[in-house]
Structure 1
Amino acid sequence: MDATAVVGCFRDRTILVTGSTGFLGKLLVEKILRVQPNVKKLYLVVRASDAASAEQRILSQVLGKDLFNTMREKHGLAGFEELIQEKIVPLAGDIGIQNFGLDRSTVDDLCEEIDVIIHGAATTSFYERYDVALASNALGAKYICEFAKKCSNMKLLLHLSTAFVAGTRKGLLLEEALQMGETLRPGYCLDIKAELRLVEKIKTELRVANSGGPDQSLEKTAMKELGLKRACHFGWPNVYTFTKAMGEMLLAQERGDLPLIIMRPAMVTSTFQDPFPGWIEGARTIDALIVAYTEQAFPCFVGDRKNIMDAVSSCGHGGKCNPCS
């Protein structure tokens, strides 16, 4: 399918997006509004205490970014604000709770409207608390699938995963769906319900040991250590990739006949050209090396010359700046 066909699919569609405050989420919202301004609505689910707080998060953490400057120039400030008022609907919700924690009436209305769901919300920390990662990355995928199945006009559920659910295995790895219970460690089987019970058991034991009152610092450390331990036990290098793999398994189990696409992007750096070269937010993974090299705090790269590294990034200056030149 070419780009024109994809753009056409969004015309007059109502799309629900999770993770819009994240790096890829912002790019997605900007792209849809720029190439298909005839999209009907974009519901953006964000964690917030109420509707006003959700709107403020969207304005400050998404629409207020320089990423949208191309659209501001195209439409003018007044036109851009009018477009946003017409198309963007912030929703205060939590992906780790069934139906995002929304009331029944709101859920019923949404299920009548929504045509497409793009699920990009996740916790991406490699050393996240196990309970938090399970709720966001694993159960969040399950709950979004259950929600999508209630939508009478559902055309597509697009789930954003990661290429690194494959772990640290070497060689040619085919893009195959993960099966429920599958692990990267031979002879082991993953029981997600048992993992959830283990988390509750550890937290209960901690509360009992502290006379019924949880020690927040102790619980946080214990949950982080548990996540890393369980990930390594089943063959994954960190709790992020481990729980994202669980999310894929739960989607496969729950989907039924739901039209589902799972995308597994690899390392994400800056924009290449669209909407303009070199837009980036924060320094992640290889970005930190690029920044350190640019600031001459990291004068060389140490590694095996026989290794192959494939990374694409753009500074936005056409390769004419130092150290690009």
Structure 2
Amino acid sequence: MLLGQFHQNLPLAIVRPTMVTSTYKEPFSGWIEGARTIDGVITAFGKGRLKSFLGHPNSILDVIPADMVVNSIIMAMVTHANKSSQIIFHVGSSLRNPMKLPSLSDLISLYFTQNPWIDRNGKSIKVSKLIVFGNIATFQAYMAIRYKLPLKVLWLANLMLCQYYREIRINLNRKVRVVMRMVDLYKPYAFFTGSFDDSNTENLRVAIRESDVDVNLFYFDPRCIDWEDYIMNTHIPGLTKYSMKP
């Protein structure tokens, strides 16, 4: 690593966050810019474009709110300002307070059932429970029966009926592309069941608690997060307000 080789006597602290989500508290709860990491799945599902997904039932979604990342960076700078050694801080939740994929799928299904997305035409998008397949073979079989076979039937029907079902086929094909793009993008995460060692970050939290720093101001302990409350009342509401567009 170039930084490790050339930092010489300068203090070097590398903060490595996992998937960053909307703010937990500051500057206000739920603030987010753009749709990243898990937000792509949430957005596609809420808009009715994603009905099924792929993932191991024991997959851990290692996410951390943005303000906790910022606070950890500030504290890492303060505590290592006069040290010449280098250190890496993993900032995440998988070890201290893991959230599994089935929990997220249940929560986003519940949220958009209770709070349907309104599209640009003022239409309420009705969703059903997100189907999560635990292996690729089952997922591929579902896609073949649910989407690819009807697409072939529509293709033949369009040939015979002068493209009468053209728009239906275009819309169905678009849904298939969305699902497959999401699966390709998130496959490495959807089947990852490990967790990251955040011992250095935990030691940093201990050092902060033992100092005169206000831990309530510079909080970055994921154990304080109630994932159900955060996803339902903070993250998805923030995503729909600041990021999702009709």
Is TM (by shorter chain) over 0.5? Answer: no
- Normalised by the length of structure 2, the TM-score is 0.30
- Normalised by the length of structure 1, the TM-score is 0.25
User: Looking at both structures, which has the greater relative contact order when contacts are Cα pairs under 8 Å and sequence separation is at least 6?
Assistant: 2
